[in-house]
Structure 1
Amino acid sequence: MKNIKVLLVDDQQLVREGLRRMLELDDDIKVIGEAGSGEDALIKAKDLNPDVILMDIKMSGISGIEATRRIKEENSKANIIMLTVYEDKYLAQAAEAGAVGYLLKDITQEELLRAVKVAYAGQSPVTPSVAKTLMSQFASMVQVNRKNILSRRQLEILRMVASGVTNKNIAQQLYLSEATIKRETSTIFTKLGVTDRTQAVSEAYTKNLL
């Protein structure tokens, strides 16, 4: 097995150091970077191109959930594992954001190493105390809902469109590429059954989305 490139994201340095020490005991795993905030995670994920990201959920500023959503919206190939002290409190949000795994921070070194390798293989590592079927169930529910309603990100973009903000400026404000904004805008048009910005805003007001 080649080295699995891992990015650590946690706002507590001691936690990052502990994770690094455990991971670096395995020759198949290489920690290529650390981020102390959600904002930093967005930059590091793009610059370092990790295979697996260990992402803390609760951070000041951009949360781990939001950082995960934005990283996946940029078409990142990284498989993201959420780290938390909460049982299944954020499981649904983690699945919706695109995380493949959900682990409690009190896991053992053996469990952590196994989880990274499982995620790298494209599977879903979940702490045993959390029902293993929940992740796939929530993900399926979210996929169905996405076909019928606008996501939170799409609503945010729609509000900016209604305010006359250009795609370029929307991209800058949301830390996304302009191509991503264009793609999301096109999806919004399709879901609303319209073909341009003016119609989208009008339809959004009709449906009480704004």
Structure 2
Amino acid sequence: MTIRVLIADDHAAIRAGLGLMLGGDPDVEVVGEAADGEVAVRNARTLRPDVVLMDIRMPRMDGIEATRTIVGEGLADVLVLTTFDLDEYVFGALRAGAAGFLLKSTSAAALLDAVRRVAAGEGVVAPEVTRTLLDAFATSRPGGSGSPEQGHTPVGADGAAAETVERAGLTARELEVLAALARGLSNGQISAGLHITEATTKTHVSHLLAKLGCSSRVQAAILAREAGIA
């Protein structure tokens, strides 16, 4: 099945370059572009892509707010592209529900792989980077040494994360899967560690996301880390 992609970036040259990187793959179709967040939301509503490649710093509506709207309305999964590694804007986009992020300097092969993984419901941040990301979130909590993104309240601040997990009524197996997500493990690694199939792992991930009210596995991992689950 063809993966439909919308590219949102305020630089025409970058949109063109990303389009060329994706256009050579027969399984991927670039269905539209957007130069700002408002157009990205409007085009996502009209075109219903599978994946939106989202720049963060754009005029009129930034990528964080556009991501929140697109994910909140269930229009598409969002993959954030940024020039900066783990800055506060990336934090904001992930908290808004983005499935993951890549640097704009990424190779065509890595970009295509990420698009496929997002379309399949997987996260796209490599496990070792995910652990760094989650650690950065942990230190940005109240009392930590980092600084959370401006204008966005940390998920689970003041102990709400632990309460959210407790009230979700997760099964013992779902808690094991959540802990694995908090360690930055992929579906394949979770399946091997728990001796279950990848299809079963995907089912557990889907169920726990619904119970926790999270829109992405990265959000669930952040929540788990802030609840002390790892």
TM over 0.5, yes or no?
Answer: yes
Opposite residue 106 of structure 1, the aligned amino acid is S
Q: How does 1:124-139 map to 2 (within 5 A)?
A: 124-126=123-125, 131-134=129-132, 138=137
Correspondence 1:64-75 to 2 at 5 A: 64-75=63-74
Paired residue secondary structure (1:81)? strand
The answer to whether the Cα contact below 8 Å between 2:86 and 2:133 also exists between their aligned partners in 1 is no
Q: How has the CA–CA distance of structure 1 residues 87 and 4 changed in structure 2, closer, same or farther, with 3 Å as cutoff?
A: same
Contact preservation (8 Å) 1:102, 1:127 = no
Cα offsets for 1:144-183 (capped at 9, x unmatched): 349959xxxxxxxxxxxxxxxxxxxxxxxxxxxxxxxxxx
Q: Which has the higher contact order (CA 8 A, sep 6+)?
A: 2
Q: Give 1:135 shift.
A: 5.5
1:41 corresponding residue in structure 2:
40
Q: In structure 1, the residue corresponding to 2:129 is in which secondary structure?
A: coil
Report the CA distance between 1:92 and its aligned residue: 2.0
Q: Which residue of 1 aligns with 2:57?
A: 58
The percentage of aligned residue pairs carrying the same residue is: 41
Match of 2:203 in 1: none
Larger Rg: 1
Offset of residue 136 of structure 1: 6.2
Distance in 1 of aligned mates of 2:133 and 2:25: 27
The residue that corresponds to 1:11 in the other structure is 10
Counterpart position of 1:114 = 113
Q: Tell me which residue corresponds to 2:166.
A: none
Is the Cα–Cα contact under 8 Å of residues 103 and 127 in structure 1 kept in the other structure?
no
Distance of 2:74 and 2:134 partners within structure 1 = 20
Q: State yes or no: 1:81 paired with 2:79.
A: yes
Q: TM-score, length-normalised on structure 2?
A: 0.57
Q: Is the 8 A contact 1:104 1:127 kept in 2?
A: no
Aligned position for 2:208: none
- Give the secondary-structure state (helix, strand or coil) at the position aligned to 1:111: helix
Q: Deviations over 1:33-74 (max 9, x none)?
A: 111110101100100101000000111221111110111222
What is the CA–CA distance in structure 2 between the aligned matches of 1:44 and 1:65, rounded to whole Å?
Answer: 16
**Residues 10-40 of structure 1, C-alpha deviations (whole Å, 9 max, x = no match):** 0111100100011011000000011111010
CA contact 1:84–1:104 (8 Å) conserved in 2: yes
SS in 2 for 1:7: strand
How many residues align? The count is 145
Distance 1:66 1:146, change over 3 A: farther
Q: Aligned to 2:84, what secondary structure does the other structure show?
A: coil
